[in-house]
A and B are shown apart, each in its own frame.
Chain A
Amino acid sequence: MKGVSTQKKSTGYQRVVLKNSAPVLENESTRLSAVEFKQFIITGLKILYGEVGAALTFDVLKYDEDSRTAFLRVPSRGLVKLWSSLTLLGSYQDQACAFRILQVSPFLLALTGNSRELQLD
């Protein structure tokens, strides 16, 4: 074995990805485009943390309009802000709604191999 290097998590490099943070809406027929989805989350950040929260950088890597599920990517220092604002977002256009966080990982690759999604029967 040559050139072995062990590297522990470095906060500077860490990415935290929230997979399938799906808003559950009262009216199932309501549709959100990807842009509306991101704007909705920014609104939630602004309500809870003000302008500083609204300026938090996060990405919507992938969004599925039908299931309203998305892959969100946020630097680790912003995870708690994003997660808490998603938790407290309770309404969308006067309809009750809730976000469900399905998986969180510092590695995007980890989210593509979740054995809990294995459905055999």
Chain B
Amino acid sequence: MSVDVCEAPHCQLVCENSSFLDEENSLVSLVQQLHFNYKVSLLIPDCSSAPSHLDSVINSFSSFVLIKNMPVSEFIDKDFLETAVYPGSVCALSYRTRIGEDNCVALMPNGRLRLSLDRHSYHLLGIEGKVSKFRSKGRHIVSVDLTDSSMAPGGRGYDRLLSGLTCRLPLTSDFLLSHQQGVQSCLKSLLSRYDWSELRPEVSTKVLHQLTCPSDLGSCDAYSVMDWLGAVDAGISSSIGSSSSFLSTYTCPGPQRMATTALSISVSGFLLPHHVQILIMEVRQFLEQSSSPWASLTVHGFTDNVVSCCENEHGRLRGGVNFYTLLMSKGHDYKLLIVTGSHDSCSP
């Protein structure tokens, strides 16, 4: 029996052409459903500096905190439930835990606590869950709605989860936490008990000169667009140009033109979808007033995220790819490219 060893990592690409004016477009729901964003990259050709209103939006991504060695049971602490979980808007993700290898935890703004556990930890916890769809080493997914009445402090479900997380499986991890109303004011008592640091998303701005770009990005096929955007983001563009070079034959796709300048901005950290939404609106407004023909915005999710969009399961395998690129042109039309790895049940 022969085995096909030519298998490359599988990914799914979804392309959507739509309009911001279309009430049924899926962009808003997609942006809001992806809670755990790691990096946002923006590319605007024929632009050398961001106007002040766009600049202020880019710098307004809220700060987040890194809490060290925090027990997961803190998420069901009565005080934390009342100040952060019930009002909503708090997001937490275990940091430096590798999905598929370690136990990973995520808390979503809707109050759902999601744990991705190995077989041994799952049995110790004693809370009903589901076998991972990707069946990686007996992994189980436990999902608990902390806003459910059975999970109210004192309730049967609550007591069972509390004893599981404090006695049978006292899981601890470093966590990234973010809150729309500001972490410090909402989570004061929690932070007072642990070693923590407040962090600002890192903003990097580059002005690219003499950038060879496709003259009509919208007409290029999706794979070429993403290769080209990746090349620009990785700083490869300067060496592009010759199809006969010994080192690389990669060239800019389609009919080309030279953009005198291009603005490349990236923000990385623990980014909330709310700010991504504001940034999209601001870029649209900017495009209407500027000479730039289009802008691209790419949002990368965390590789080791437990959940993908629609609260489906996310795994890694060899890539853990989960990102989307939004190509906006003047007017209201846009092209959305959503990429997910083979271990991702996102179905936008």
Q: Mark A8-22, 1 if CB is under 8 A from B, else 0.
A: 110001111100000
Q: Which of B220-249 contact A (CB under 8 A)?
A: 221-223, 226-227, 229-231, 233-236, 239, 246-249
A52 CB within 8 Å of chain B:
no
Contact check, B230 vs A112: say whether CB atoms are below 8 A apart: yes
Q: Scoring A residues 83 to 108 as 1 if CB is less than 8 Å from chain B, else 0, what string do you get?
A: 00000000000000000000111111
* Residues of chain B contacted by A17 (CB below 8 angstroms): 230
Q: Point out which of B38, B98, B197, B247 has the most chain A C-beta atoms below 10 A from its C-beta.
A: B247
Tell whether, in the assembled complex, residue A107 and residue B17 are in contact, meaning their CB atoms are under 8 Å apart.
no
Q: Does the CB pair B22–A59 fall under 8 Å?
A: no
CB–CB B248/A1 < 8 A: no
Give the residue name and chain of the A residue nearest to B12 (CB).
A8
Residues of B within 8 A of A57 (CB): 249
Q: Which residues of A lie under 8 Å from residue B38 when comparing CB positions?
A: 113, 115, 118
Q: Does B19 contact A (CB under 8 A)?
A: yes
Whether B323 contacts A110 by the Cβ 8 Å rule is yes
Counting chain A residues whose Cβ lies within 8 A of the other chain, the interface size class is 35 or more
Bitwise interface map of B from 281 to 293 toward A, beta carbon under 8 Å scored 1, else 0: 0000000000000
- The A/B interface has a contact count, at CB < 8 Å, of 152
Tell me whether A113 and B66 are in contact (CB under 8 A): no
Contacts A4-B18, A71-B234 given; does A107 touch B246 at CB 8 Å: no
On chain B, the residues within 8 Å of A34 by CB distance are 247
Shortest B13–chain A CB gap in Å is 5
- Min CB gap B113→A, angstroms: 21
Q: Which of A1, A9, A110 contacts B25 (CB 8 A)?
A: A1
B199 with A104: CB separation less than 8 A: no
Query: Do the beta carbons of A60 and B18 come within 8 Å of each other?
Result: no
Q: Which residues of A contact B325 (CB under 8 A)?
A: 109
- B31: min CB distance to chain A, Å: 15
B304 near A2 with CB under 8 A, answer no
A7-B222, A8-B12, A13-B223 given as contacts; is B235 within 8 A of A109 (CB)?
no
Other-chain contact of A61, B7, B15, B26, B231 (Cβ < 8 Å):
B231
CB distance from A89 to the nearest CB of B (A): 18
Q: Are B250 and A4 in contact (CB under 8 A)?
A: no
Name the B residues within 8 Å of A115 (CB-CB). Answer: 38-39, 300-304
Nearest chain B residue, comparing its CB with the CB of A63: B247
Among B24, B227, B236, B303, point to the contact of A15 (Cβ < 8 A): B227
Which 7 pairs between the two chains have the least Cβ-Cβ distance?
Answer: A113-B300, A108-B230, A109-B230, A76-B8, A59-B248, A115-B38, A112-B233
Task: Supply 13 further A-B pairs (C-beta < 8 A) apart from A7-B15, A71-B236, A73-B250.
Answer: A1-B16, A3-B18, A8-B13, A59-B249, A62-B239, A104-B8, A104-B319, A106-B9, A108-B234, A109-B233, A110-B300, A113-B268, A118-B268
